[in-house]
């Protein structure tokens, strides 16, 4: 007995393919769209259809962009001698939102994960070294996540870059702003003590 109309079921199946969307959430979303005016589902449909058609990778920094080079790489007010290396486009967006970075980026599109067969060649690491060799870069800010694979990727980059005439920096690790010290986990607290800053 087919209880769910096939068109609804197809949408539910497609939605469950998205990360973090299970069967129940997918059903809820699909039924919501069915209850709302058709224009809403069509609008979302159009946005999805246009996504890949109008976005490509910037050939310099590998950010997603509608132009090549991307607007950040093209912007003459930005310091292209300071390159921030991030794992993914979402990290670039998070750093841009802070408004505290005036350099350019290099997106790795992942982290090293030898167990899953992801080595340096699967990421944009070769391209990063190429940029360091061919462009006048003064500083590489390694801004991978402070997770185990993020740290491993950072170590790999830092080791390799040691042989090149470029300053290498890392995002500061420590107590999050506004956090009570007694609630900080011990690894973070240990790192905050080790990286303590001289005030005067």
Residues that bind a second copy (CB under 8 A): 1-8, 10-11, 14-15, 17-21, 25, 27-35, 38, 40-55, 64-66, 71-72, 75, 88-90, 92-93, 96-97, 109
User: Which is nearer to a second copy, 113 or 189 (by Cβ)?
Assistant: 113
HSE-up (13 A, CA, CB side) for residue 107: 21
DSSP-assigned letters across all residues of 153-189? HHHHHHHHHTTSSSEEEE---SPPTT--GGGS-HHHH
Minimum distance from residue 187 beta carbon to a second copy (Å)? 24
Could you tell me if 148 and 157 are in contact, meaning their C-beta atoms sit under 8 angstroms apart? Answer: no
Minimum distance from residue 40 beta carbon to a second copy (Å)? 7
Minimum distance from residue 122 beta carbon to a second copy (Å)? 13
Spell out the residues 6+ positions from residue 200 whose beta carbon is closer than 8 angstroms to its own: none
* Backbone dihedral angles phi then psi of residue 24, each to the nearest 5 degrees: -70, -45
Please tell me whether residue 82 adopts helix, strand or coil conformation.
strand
Minimum distance from residue 95 beta carbon to a second copy (Å)? 9
User: Which is nearer to a second copy, 122 or 174 (by Cβ)?
Assistant: 122
* Backbone dihedral angles phi then psi of residue 32, each to the nearest 5 degrees: -60, -50
User: Which is nearer to a second copy, 153 or 168 (by Cβ)?
Assistant: 153
User: Which is nearer to a second copy, 68 or 159 (by Cβ)?
Assistant: 68
Minimum distance from residue 148 beta carbon to a second copy (Å)? 21
Minimum distance from residue 29 beta carbon to a second copy (Å)? 5
Q: Radius of gyration of the chain from Cα atoms?
A: 22
User: Which is nearer to a second copy, 91 or 161 (by Cβ)?
Assistant: 91
φ/ψ bin of 109: left (φ > 0), alpha (ψ from -120 to 50), beta (otherwise): left
User: Which is nearer to a second copy, 72 or 125 (by Cβ)?
Assistant: 72
């Amino acid at each position: 007995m087919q209880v769910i109309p096939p068109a609804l079921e197809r949408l539910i199946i497609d939605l469950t393919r998205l990360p973090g969307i299970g069967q129940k959430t997918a059903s809820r979303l699909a039924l919501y769209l069915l209850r709302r005016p058709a224009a809403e589902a069509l609008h979302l449909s159009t946005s999805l259809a246009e996504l890949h058609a109008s976005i490509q990778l910037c050939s310099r920094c590998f950010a997603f962009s509608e132009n090549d080079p991307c607007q950040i790489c093209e912007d003459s007010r930005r310091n292209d001698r300071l390159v921030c290396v991030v794992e993914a486009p979402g990290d670039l967006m998070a750093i841009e939102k802070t408004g505290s970075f005036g350099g350019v980026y290099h997106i790795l599109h992942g982290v090293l994960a030898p167990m899953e067969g992801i080595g340096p060649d699967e990421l944009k690491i070769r391209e990063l070294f190429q940029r360091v060799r061919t462009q006048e870069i003064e500083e590489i800010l390694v801004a991978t996540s402070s997770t185990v694979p993020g740290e491993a990727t950072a170590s790999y980059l830092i080791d390799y870059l040691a042989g090149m005439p470029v300053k290498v920096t890392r995002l500061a690790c420590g107590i999050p702003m506004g956090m009570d010290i007694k609630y900080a986990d011990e690894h973070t607290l240990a790192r905050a003590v080790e990286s303590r800053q001289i005030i005067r």
